[in-house]
Amino acid sequence: MKGLIIYKGKYGATDQYASWLSKALNLPAVLPEQLSSGQFSQTELLVMGTSVYIGKFQIRDWLQQNISLIRDKKLFLFVVSGTPVEEKEKLESFVVANVPAEIRRNTEIFFLPRKLTYANLSWLDKILLRMGAMFTKDGTQRKRMLTDYNEVNQLHLMPLIQSITHYTHTNTANCQYTH
């Protein structure tokens, strides 16, 4: 079964997860703009990764432009967000707002934590983050929004890797990843 990892992030966490997945699954990982049509057309299994920026998936536009190519493929989507993974309802609302319904029906979704290094943010993102924190009523959440953290860990990928492995072994007698 031919597989491919397509990802797009903003500050490095999504890239790190994609790199780890690429090594663990022996699949190529590419940015959407680096993808060749031949590479995509031969793919049966897609693993897609995206970060969330102000409620919008970084890969959203690409998804919408390629609905017809994606709709019949098995898709595993990992979403990297600053929203805690316990806030399932909020995270799922991001999926509904960003992933077309005809793609969602054939998609398994995994939410992964990210990192925040305030010094690495663009000046605009620093302003937006401070403004968002000002409007947050919960003092603990406000403080968390402005504090550096790094929750990116290879272990967070285990459920995704297990799900992909189970799918490939269930759906192919001769599972083979190719580049």
User: Both tokens of residue 34?
Assistant: 């680096």
Structure confidence at residue 176 (pLDDT):
47
Structure confidence at residue 38 (pLDDT):
75
Q: Extract the runs of DSSP E, i.e. beta strands, from 71-139.
A: 74-81, 107-113, 115-116
Q: For residue 3, count CB atoms less than 10 angstroms from its CB and return exposed for 0-12, middle for 13-18, buried for 19 or more.
A: buried
Structure confidence at residue 151 (pLDDT):
92
User: pTM value?
Assistant: 0.88
- Cα separation of 26 and 12, whole Å? 20
Structure confidence at residue 85 (pLDDT):
85
Q: For residue 167, count CB atoms less than 10 angstroms from its CB and return exposed for 0-12, middle for 13-18, buried for 19 or more.
A: middle
Closest of 120, 114, 129, 117 to residue 14, by C-alpha: 114
Structure confidence at residue 83 (pLDDT):
87
Q: Name the percent of the chain in helix, strand, coil, to the closest 5.
A: 50, 20, 30
Instruction: List per-residue pLDDT tens for the chain, 179 residues long.
Output: 689 999 999 999 999 999 999 999 999 999 999 987 777 778 888 999 999 998 999 999 999 999 988 888 899 999 999 888 889 999 999 999 999 999 998 899 999 999 988 889 899 989 998 898 888 888 888 888 888 889 999 999 999 999 999 998 887 644 444 44
Structure confidence at residue 1 (pLDDT):
64
**34 DSSP β-pair partners:** none
Domains, the chain, in order of start with CATH, read 3-114+151-176 (3.40.50.360)
